[in-house]
Copies of this chain bind each other. A is one copy, B any other.
Amino acid sequence: MFPGDDEHLSDSVGIVKTKYATFEVELQLESGRLLGPTTLAYETYGTLNAERSNAILVTHAWTGDAHAAGRHSEDDRKPGWWDDMIGPGKLLDTDRYFILCSNVIGSCKGSTGPTSINQRTGKPYNLSFPAIMVRDMVRAQKLLIDHLKLETLVTVIGGSMGAMQALEWGILYPEVVRSIIPIAGTGRTSPMAIALNAVARQAIFNDPMWKKGNYKPEHPPTDGLALARGIGHISFLSDASMHLKFGRRFSARDGMFDFFGQFEVERYLEYNGSSFVDKFDTNSFLYLAKALDLYDVAWNFDSLEEALSNLQCPSLWFAFTSDWLYPPNQPEEVTRTLETLGKPVEYHLIESDYGHDSFLVEPEKFIPLAAEFLRKIK
């Protein structure tokens, strides 16, 4: 044990366990198709108060999961994906709040998705899994909220696809949410973001191991998925962050004029892509990419104004200067409209060089502003 370890552990939620809830009801999806039964993986941190009024829902991004904080075992090398945010004395203070994070449907991290067994056929869904929209993810989360007998949420907070879910919560269930905090989000996915997903998809379709989605779990299309992840990864970073991290350095093991010689940035992308294939299912990656592409808060409403007029609670928005995947002008379109509608809205453009990933890399830049906002939520 090292000096300081105690201190460090004191702000951790400690050892946590993923739980599962299964709902027999069939979800009516936006596509018109039915999905059920549905299992949701989730974790909780902190204690629900007697009034059941101190719950916060944390929503995750594309390849995230329910494991937002703490460790699964003593020798777990890494904590949950937003451990900086969740724990005793942290922004999402487990001494005060009951924090809940659930894996979205369509994913492969314990919730029902394309790798799940279709109970009608006894086989994995694969491409017979229905298309999912972010709104469907939120409807499924609502089943869990009801199951846990939570009638109200202090806030719904998340980055990227998590921000989309937070906004959908505000629109769909205004009677439940007392605030929302969408971070690095957008009101609708831009053609640029769709284009990036399109080439990522194509990288998978090009891989003969993909077999139109009918690959065996033990033989996934690793080349295609690694490349798809590499493409996505670029869009999460920024020119500035790559300059800081890699510059134009050439890999020390390669000759600059070797045909297969690599720059450091290239090695990093390759490494990151190939380690990703052990962590994520290819079809889930594709289904969630589609959900991202289809995302438009005005979907099934007459206009953005009509959609946003459903929001009743205060909302707090953060965008990042170097985010070129969901650049600031996109959330600003939403916050401006909310202002026009007379809704309580607070927006901050945060200076950060870490691109779209800023919400994970530099939470300290927005935590004080979020703490201030949360203190005022009754």
Contact = CB atoms under 8 A, between A and B. Distances in A.
A363 B124 CA distance: 54
A263 B198 CA distance: 9
Contact of A265 (B191, B245, B248): B191
A192 interface: yes
Interface stretch (A60-68, A84-92, A222-230): A222-230
Contact of A202 (B196, B213, B247, B270): B270
A257 interface: yes
Given A208-B208, A259-B131, A293-B263, A192 B234 contact: yes
A22 interface: no
Given A194-B265, A239-B190, A263-B191, A296 B248 contact: yes
B234 A269 contact: no
Contacts of A239: 190-192, 324, 327
Nearest to A283: B259
B191 A246 contact: yes
Given A191-B247, A239-B191, A248-B188, A127 B259 contact: yes
A interface SS class: helix
Contacts of A32: 257
B269 A198 contact: yes
B127 A198 contact: no
A299 to B, nearest CB: 10
Interface in A172-200: 188-192, 194-196, 198-199
A248 B189 contact: yes
Given A131-B259, A243-B190, A296-B248, A269 B195 contact: yes
Contacts of A208: 208
Contact of A242 (B192, B202, B224): B192
A206 B231 contact: no
Contact of A263 (B194, B207, B223, B237): B194
Given A198-B269, A257-B131, A206 B192 contact: no
Contacts of A36: none
Contacts of A246: 191
A198 B265 contact: yes
A323 to B, nearest CB: 12
A206 B194 contact: no
Contacts of A327: 239
Interface string A236-261: 01110011011110000000111100
Nearest to A256: B294
A364 interface: no
Interface string A279-299: 000000010001001101000
Nearest to A247: B191
Residue in A32, A257, A294 whose Cβ sees the most chain B Cβ within 10 Å: A257
22 contacts: A31-B256, A33-B257, A127-B259, A131-B256, A190-B239, A191-B239, A191-B242, A191-B243, A191-B245, A191-B246, A191-B247, A191-B265, A192-B234, A195-B237, A195-B242, A198-B262, A198-B263, A199-B231, A202-B227, A206-B207, A206-B223, A263-B293
